[in-house]
């Protein structure tokens, strides 16, 4: 049976390990592939409850960090070489130390990525961190991704490159029986249940977040008990908690690790949590009122995200202050259960498994060919329908431009844009003078790529830069060739040069000077006959848009 290696992030977080275990256990249950989790976590608590094979490297504290890192990388490389995995799965965000591992070269690679704030995503993209992955699954809805405020280039790369897929949130959803059993264990008398969790318990910054959060909640618990309130609190500190010791009291239960945290959060009446991706997702699956206490968190932007969550699902945002927390908790306890919940997402995990299975299938290598997008400008008065009778089959994927300029939406002034013949191509051709409509208007109409006689005119580059669209509009420089009767060889020479200079190449052939059907047919058939003998593959508009968008994933 083929092996799948899951390389997970390590350090102070824990939610990503739980997501990786969820995926690995689903892969194992499907029975087609054998998953192996490779980690370097400080705590093995989570892995004691999984049936999946785990290789956990020790943290080497007694040697210098450089030596420890070199040793870890060398051993990891040998381990992966011995496992010979059919697919490599990375979790959370790209790790640069995996890029140079010889054992990973040429293996199919999948990234399962939780939400990142817009600035962090853009930073990773411009560093080329996403370029080495065959597929990237974003564990977020498209709508929520857009709300993060991503740049136009990042939005275009995600939407058009063909590498990214939205699979929705991936987290464990407990059954109603699991929720009921967990509630009965922690609040057997039916008392209101308050769950406090700060993630894995570690500090992204040395600011004592966990100590401040649980100390404040311990004070709130003391006040509730003194007032005779019957609420019970469960502190799940996380395995990396390093704050002051917490004592159990008549209304406080302390757990360093709770394998049923998803069920516990779903059973809660109030959830006081650090709004990390996993814990927040699990809390939203239940009916608890949310009291979110953000902290510094690498690449997540928790403050902004917490605000969006509260706007959609209710709740409150707080600091780790006992007076503020007490007021918010008392208010939440007095309310009926929260009814706003995200839709369940069982399809997301199934979609993830399907992608893993498809990547594990061997793909026969192909000899690389030069790739060419060919646009035929028909000229005014001639439509794509007119060309059907003389267009050779080999040129059917060519983009047909009818030569009609698109008027400005308001005043009817010609904008310098040639529309394709027919709709749905997502491509326009720009003249050197630049259009009068803003880029966003074209993008809103479904345009994702503009082709223009190259090199790209300064006016068009400035037009795109001064009013950037979201997602950004790709611009591709094209070789402009004017077809003339009896001058086919000259055209072929220019097309040949274009295909060797650029990848992908784009050529706009102006057919307006071929006025009769006979010369038009002779020219097109000669062009098709020559292309059929060349190591050139004609690209459709969608393929070209994807290739141009993939450039946005490369180092810039």
DSSP assignment of 224-280 equals: HHHTT---EEEEE--TT--SS----BTTEEEES--TTHHHHHHH-SEEEE---HHHH
- Segment among 15-19, 129-133, 392-396 with least mean pLDDT: 15-19
**Rounded to an integer, what distance in angstroms lies between the CA atom of residue 84 and that of residue 102?**
12
68-80 pLDDT per residue, tens:
778 888 889 999 9
The DSSP-derived string for 466-516 is HS--SSPPEEEEEEEEE--TT-HHHHHHHHHHHHHH-SSEEEEEE-TT--S
Q: Is the peptide bond before 504 cis (omega within 30 degrees of 0)?
A: yes
**Rounded to an integer, what distance in angstroms lies between the CA atom of residue 507 and that of residue 372?**
7
Q: Is 61 a residue whose pLDDT tops 60?
A: no
Mean pLDDT value across residues 473-483: 92
Binned at pLDDT 50, 70 and 90, residue 240 comes out as confident
Q: Is 411 a residue whose pLDDT tops 50?
A: no
Burial classification of residue 522, based on how many CB atoms lie within 10 Å of its CB (0-12 exposed, 13-18 middle, 19 or more buried): middle
CB distance 200 to 236 below 8 Å: no
Query: pLDDT at position 62, please?
Result: 57
Binned at pLDDT 50, 70 and 90, residue 314 comes out as very high
Query: pLDDT at position 400, please?
Result: 86
φ, ψ of residue 200 in degrees (nearest 5): -75, -15
Query: pLDDT at position 403, please?
Result: 57
Mean pLDDT value across residues 247-256: 95
430-440 pLDDT per residue, tens:
876 678 889 99
**Rounded to an integer, what distance in angstroms lies between the CA atom of residue 510 and that of residue 520?**
11
**Rounded to an integer, what distance in angstroms lies between the CA atom of residue 286 and that of residue 307?**
19
Mean pLDDT value across residues 268-284: 90
Query: pLDDT at position 377, please?
Result: 85
**Rounded to an integer, what distance in angstroms lies between the CA atom of residue 242 and that of residue 427?**
56
For all residues of the chain together, what is the average pLDDT?
Answer: 87
Query: pLDDT at position 101, please?
Result: 87
Q: How many Cβ atoms are within 10 Å of 170's Cβ, its own excluded?
A: 25
Domains of the chain: 3-170 (3.40.50.2000), 176-344 (3.40.50.2000), 370-553 (3.20.20)
CB distance 165 to 135 below 8 Å: yes
Global pTM reads 0.86
Query: pLDDT at position 436, please?
Result: 81
Neighbouring-strand partners of residue 55: 38
**CA diameter of the chain:** 99
- Counts for the chain of helices (H) and strands (E), in that order: 18, 21
Query: pLDDT at position 410, please?
Result: 37
218-235 pLDDT per residue, tens:
999 999 999 999 999 999
From the list 27, 18, 20, 5, the residue with the least C-alpha distance to 353 is: 27
CA dihedral 498, 501, 503, 507 (to 10 degrees): -10
Distances (CA, A) of 270 to 196, 222, 281, 445: 9, 17, 14, 45
Mean pLDDT value across residues 491-518: 89
From the list 258, 233, 88, the residue with the least C-alpha distance to 172 is: 258
Helix (H) / strand (E) containing 306: helix 302-313
> What's the Rg (C-alpha) of the chain?
29
22-60 pLDDT per residue, tens:
999 999 999 999 999 998 877 777 788 889 999 988 776
Query: pLDDT at position 408, please?
Result: 36
CB distance 437 to 416 below 8 Å: no
**Rounded to an integer, what distance in angstroms lies between the CA atom of residue 452 and that of residue 377?**
12
Mean pLDDT value across residues 328-345: 92
From the list 549, 532, 530, the residue with the least C-alpha distance to 541 is: 549
Higher pLDDT: 230 or 98? It is 230
157-192 pLDDT per residue, tens:
999 999 999 999 998 889 999 999 999 999 988 899
CA angle 512, 518, 522 (to 5 degrees): 85
φ, ψ of residue 377 in degrees (nearest 5): -90, 110
The DSSP-derived string for 381-405 is T--HHHHTTT--GGGTTSEEEEEEE
Q: Is 195 a residue whose pLDDT tops 60?
A: yes
Cβ partners under 8 Å of residue 109, min gap 6? 87, 88, 89, 90, 132, 133, 134
CB distance 369 to 191 below 8 Å: no
Neighbouring-strand partners of residue 273: 197, 292
Instruction: Report CA torsion sign: 283, 285, 289, 291.
Output: positive
Q: What percent of the chain has pLDDT over 70?
A: 91
Query: pLDDT at position 362, please?
Result: 80
**Rounded to an integer, what distance in angstroms lies between the CA atom of residue 127 and that of residue 30?**
36
Mean pLDDT value across residues 465-490: 92
């Amino acid at each position: 049976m083929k092996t799948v290696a899951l390389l997970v992030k390590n350090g102070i977080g824990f939610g990503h390990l739980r997501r990786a275990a969820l995926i690995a256990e689903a892969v194992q249950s499907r029975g087609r592939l054998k998953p192996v989790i490779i980690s370097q976590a400080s705590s093995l608590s989570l892995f004691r409850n999984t049936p999946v094979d785990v290789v956990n490297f020790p943290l080497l504290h007694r040697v210098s960090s450089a030596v420890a890192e070199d040793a870890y990388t060398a051993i990891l490389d040998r381990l992966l070489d011995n496992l010979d995995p059919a697919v490599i799965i990375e979790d959370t965000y790209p790790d640069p130390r995996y890029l140079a591992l010889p054992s990973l070269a040429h293996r199919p690679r999948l990234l399962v990525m939780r939400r990142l704030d817009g600035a962090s995503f853009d930073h990773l993209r411009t560093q080329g961190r996403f370029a080495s992955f065959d597929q990237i699954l974003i564990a977020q809805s498209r709508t929520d991704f857009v709300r993060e405020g991503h740049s136009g280039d990042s939005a275009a790369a995600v939407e058009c490159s063909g590498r990214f897929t939205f699979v929705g949130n991936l987290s464990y959803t407990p059954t109603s029986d699991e929720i009921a059993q967990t509630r009965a264990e922690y609040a057997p008398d039916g008392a209101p249940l308050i769950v406090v969790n700060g993630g894995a318990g570690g500090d992204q910054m040395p600011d004592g977040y966990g100590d401040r959060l649980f100390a404040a909640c311990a004070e709130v618990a003391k006040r509730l008990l003194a007032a005779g309130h019957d609420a019970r609190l469960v502190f799940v500190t996380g395995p990396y908690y390093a704050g002051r010791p917490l004592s159990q009291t008549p209304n406080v239960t302390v757990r360093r690790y709770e394998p049923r945290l998803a069920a516990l959060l779903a059973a809660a009446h109030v959830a006081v949590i650090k709004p990390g991706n996993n814990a927040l997702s699990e809390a939203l699956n239940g009916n608890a009122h949310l009291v979110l206490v953000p902290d510094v968190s690498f690449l997540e932007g928790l403050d902004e995200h917490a605000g969006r969550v509260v706007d959609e699902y209710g709740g409150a945002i707080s600091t780790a202050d006992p007076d503020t927390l007490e007021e918010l908790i008392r208010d939440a306890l007095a309310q009926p259960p929260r009814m706003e919940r995200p839709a369940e997402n069982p399809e997301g995990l199934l979609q993830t498994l399907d992608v893993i299975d498809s990547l594990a299938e061997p793909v026969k290598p192909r000899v690389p060919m030069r790739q060419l997008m060919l646009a035929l400008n028909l000229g005014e008065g001639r439509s794509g329908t007119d060309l059907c009778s003389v267009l050779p089959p080999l040129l059917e994927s060519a983009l047909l431009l009818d030569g009609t300029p698109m008027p400005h939406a308001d005043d009817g002034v010609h904008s310098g844009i040639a529309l394709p013949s027919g709709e749905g191509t997502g491509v326009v051709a720009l003249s050197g003078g630049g259009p009068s409509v803003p880029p966003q208007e074209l993008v809103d109409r479904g345009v994702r790529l503009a082709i223009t006689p190259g090199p790209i005119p300064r006016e068009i580059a400035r037009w795109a830069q001064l009013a950037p669209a979201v997602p950004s509009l790709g611009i591709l420089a094209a070789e402009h060739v004017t077809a003339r009767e009896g001058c086919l060889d000259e055209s072929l020479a220019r097309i040949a040069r274009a295909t060797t200079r650029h990848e992908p190449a784009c050529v706009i052939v102006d057919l307006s000077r071929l006025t009769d059907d006979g010369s038009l047919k002779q020219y097109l058939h000669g062009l098709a006959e020559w292309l059929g003998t060349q190591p050139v593959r004609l690209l459709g508009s969608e393929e070209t848009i994807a290739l141009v968008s993939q450039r946005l994933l490369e180092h810039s």
